[in-house]
Chain A
């Protein structure tokens, strides 16, 4: 417990750097910045894997009877037989696409990468509160990733009961043919839970106790607020998933029957536990993205964040409401319909803070001096796409409408507008924005802009038509829609979606190329290429081990851009003397 590294002064830590071996410095590092970069590489890899799974899935949906899968020969016979994706492999694709994207790509990219990188830097401290636990939180993800990849190659293939793992399907190998694959994924999930909890303990403790002098709560950048709230959600939600996952493992392995009705168990108990975790999880996946967006929009508009206090309050209320809305995933599950009523009310009200945030982002852009670089484009794209995802959510919050659209592609469209158009757009923006701080070089702007426009266009071509397919009534997770009378006539739409999905996947490689190319060839970025005010930009790029020669002192709020009394420049860093800025930098 008392394993905290003694941090005497920044000097001591800088000195220590010279003595570190390669292994200590880059592999088993306790430096939050190195851990963040490890997470970044890890999550980009799994983002590609998740995308690949989606491409295979889309191929099957567009041309269910065609076979002829390109490069189908490289897959084992148990997955693709003479060019045909087999139904069991399709179920594994559906399941693992969702699981990999949520747990191994988006969530660790939002939190593992950016909470690690930004919390100590933006708060003005040397490192996390518990650097060794932090290292452990990355290394717990490694077995999770290995188990996940391995699960595709065991007998029966990877998990095939959907990312939501609904019991009894997920608990009874005799009904799916999937045995070990399901268990491996559940074990991976326990490791992910451990990683997430260790990380959260660190993020929360660091934020509570290690802020630089003068960094009061209401002077924290919105990124920190969102990551802090997210960490609280993960801290409280992940253990419930771990508990449920362990019970499900027991059902599979040692003969318990928590979720199996024949042994007296309750299938709906799984759903309650899963969604008690799952809905806060939805906010874990979007709140950090909201934080990045607020930050980038403010820097790119050269304006303070509009309604900072309202933004903080909205974050807090979303987090609170997030714990009492889980039942809205279960309106058609057989749960007591009267419970559905209460969940409708709480769910609809969560739309209010989301609306507040959207309007405040627009307010931030209003009368700004917009710098439309790649990071800014992705941040604006986030607002535009998140708005669609939020609005389509109103349909399913209205229980009667949900009767029809539940479990159709309308839901698929909704979740992707939030998770891809929302979280991933903001993540791309965050990478373009903080890359110079991480690596000391800028990413290429031209490639960045092309990447944005390709992503934006293909993304909408993929997911907007899914609303239509859902309205027609296409069910989720079906291997072949052509057999249904009511689904006749959507084949062309599905083919267009698939072609656009290929384009979307391909444009990811432009990003990857830019990412690695810029490491060596990118323009050198000074300490503060964006003329930004928050603390991470007031130290060299990349920052040294220990971050600061001398801990900065904070004098005012985080987004002082274009202050009328500041001459010569349009920004005032948080650690610059406040003589010209009023100390109460809240809304007035």
Chain B
């Protein structure tokens, strides 16, 4: 372990180096370099089967890496001291069906070595205070998910690792969960959140890591990943409009998407392209400045081959 005096030399709560997991011939996670800064909400984005859950399990010490290293809260994964300072929700929340929600949290509090008093606070934080005496087996999926978050909050952890926290929730439940995550981040928690929902990540994450086929293909803020915007032009006939645009900006700066033109140009170029198209007798039906959303960035990075796995809910919101 690092010496106490080395703590705080960097502000990464999670840092991986060449993290790799191989199952037989299949590379589930391939050389992942992940860094999560203190105080941020980090979105770990990827389609189903991309390696998100395996990576999170390695960070929790549930699965041993084939190669590479990871530091979680300055300790190797699974270190009891570090585990005491983190809360987690991995996939579907798993608790004892014969115990009430409150007793399930009491069990977790004992494992953590914290007082039972924290149990009531955690139940209240997720609006389960009045249903705490009911058996876990009778909970709805949304209540189970909220109990999972309550368990993650026990012991006031600095770091929360949440694997698909809105999985299986109805729209209202998803909105509540996202609001809860933002409020936790506002209270100083650092959150690593995996999701296959682009809109979700775009809404609540400060930084995003995109994983595809086990590899971390991009990492940055949402704004960085989206990059520059473009001028979007819809004109009739579109193929003549394309010729005019290519003369003005060069072919490499003109792309055609669904019979619309996307021009790598500045917003102030709008008047010029409009004038040239009209002069050429081309009808301009739409001309606007557009920024890319995460969906497009994601499909570009992953080659678009896995688009069917991605849930686009919320992107249009």
Q: Do A and B bind each other?
A: no
